[in-house]
Structure 1
Amino acid sequence: MSAVNIRSARLDDAKAVADLHVAVWRHTYHALAPSKAFVALDEEHRFASWHKRLSSPAADQIVLLAESGAGLVGFAAAGTPSQAIFDGRSEIKHLYVDPQHKRRGIGRALLETMAARLVEQGRRSAAIGVVAGNGPAIAFYEAQGGRQAGSYTDPGPLWRSHNLVYAWDDLEALVRRQPVSSAP
């Protein structure tokens, strides 16, 4: 992996996170999501959401950024589960890596650092929902030791996607796989 720094997000990161979120989301879901979602989930919408999230974070919220010489190349967020299917596990709500920087260990570093931060909060397990049909993400989560633990339909206002839940029931094992250095 090239030199990547993982750090906690700050309020002044909201625009960069929103811009990357839109770019990666559109790249990832171009063949899966309806066109109305692409129009509505633009940079302005994502900025408002990220600004709100970063200006008044929930007590259990974690937002991590991956940066390299190229700037922001990935991010991950976790917190209280949004669906009962998560069965008491923390929910990893986002894990996105810029397509130009994939396959360099950034996603794995974000996931392992997130696992370490969740363990620091006293959490023992976590899960993520991935849209059915997103083969690259499914392969990634399986390669990282995630096991399929169910499915649900996201009731989102723009797109009712069918999602698979991938879970890690022993976050400490994920943390122990390989040390990850990160900034607080």
Structure 2
Amino acid sequence: MGEARERRGFKVRAATLADAPAMARVFVDTFRTAHRGQIPEHLLLERTYESSTQGWERTLREIAAAEDPQEYVCVAEDTAGEIVGIAMGGPPADWPFDDANRAAHPTGECYSLYVHTTRQRSGIGRALLADLATFLVSRGRRRLAIGVLAVNAPARAFYERIGGTLLGQRHFDDSGVLLDEVVYIWNDATCLTRVEPANSAESEDVRHI
């Protein structure tokens, strides 16, 4: 967390403001590929390089300005210096169904996990999630939640393979469209900090950028 972690042909490090345009390309390209046929077409087209760059810049500036940041964004960078994956997390989204558990066990949430379509199945997603989990645990959030579109079978299979337990289903509003998502939980996210890269289908859905 915060320091570049070298792995098989890539490294994971904290994102910087200069990364925003490259992060936007990864996000938009992967979002459109991963979710085609899963959400209305106009939601895919709403995500553009320009709007996503602006969103990441705004987020990274807010994190940099915070005295004690509770959110974290990391990127995976290949040996050529190209950004090939992104992840973001922080305090959990409001969900009354889980309030009692959160009160007893401080919880973090992964908001975003994307690996470019050309670099999936290479361990990048697992490495990004490990770095994010390390940050959340350092902030006292040992319990981790991840929401994923209910129809996103590859992402669901990925989370199940690395130990996620299905907690429940909820809805979220994406530009006026209600979408169904399921939530996976890790009651002790330290297990994710020890996950090593392995071949797996890496694809997640992002809502906030």
TM-score, normalised to structure 1, is 0.90
The residue number in structure 2 matching 1:63 is 73
The equivalent position to 1:16 in structure 2, one of 13, 22, 28, is: 22
The residue number in structure 2 matching 1:152 is 170
Instruction: Give me the whole-angstrom Cα distance separating, in 1, the residues matched to 2:142 and 2:84.
Output: 27
The answer to which of 146-155 and 38-47 deviates more is 38-47
The answer to which of 77-86 and 57-66 deviates more is 77-86
Task: Using the aligned pairs only, state the percent identity.
Answer: 36
The residue number in structure 2 matching 1:175 is 193
Q: Secondary structure at the match of 2:193?
A: helix
The answer to which of 150-159 and 44-53 deviates more is 150-159
Instruction: Give me the whole-angstrom Cα distance separating, in 2, the residues matched to 1:110 and 1:5.
Output: 9
Tell me if 1:115 matches 2:126: no
In structure 1, list runs of 5 or more residues that go unmatched: 180-184
- The 8 Å contact of residues 132 and 164 in structure 1, kept in 2 or not, is answered as yes
Instruction: Give me the whole-angstrom Cα distance separating, in 2, the residues matched to 1:19 and 1:158.
Output: 24
Instruction: Give me the whole-angstrom Cα distance separating, in 2, the residues matched to 1:152 and 1:17.
Output: 28
Instruction: Give me the whole-angstrom Cα distance separating, in 2, the residues matched to 1:67 and 1:159.
Output: 33
Q: Secondary structure at the match of 1:56?
A: helix
Count of aligned residue pairs for this structure pair: 179
Instruction: Give me the whole-angstrom Cα distance separating, in 1, the residues matched to 2:59 and 2:160.
Output: 29
TM-score, normalised to structure 2, is 0.80
Instruction: Give me the whole-angstrom Cα distance separating, in 2, the residues matched to 1:16 and 1:132.
Output: 28
- 1:44 deviation in Å? 1.6
- 1:157 deviation in Å? 1.6
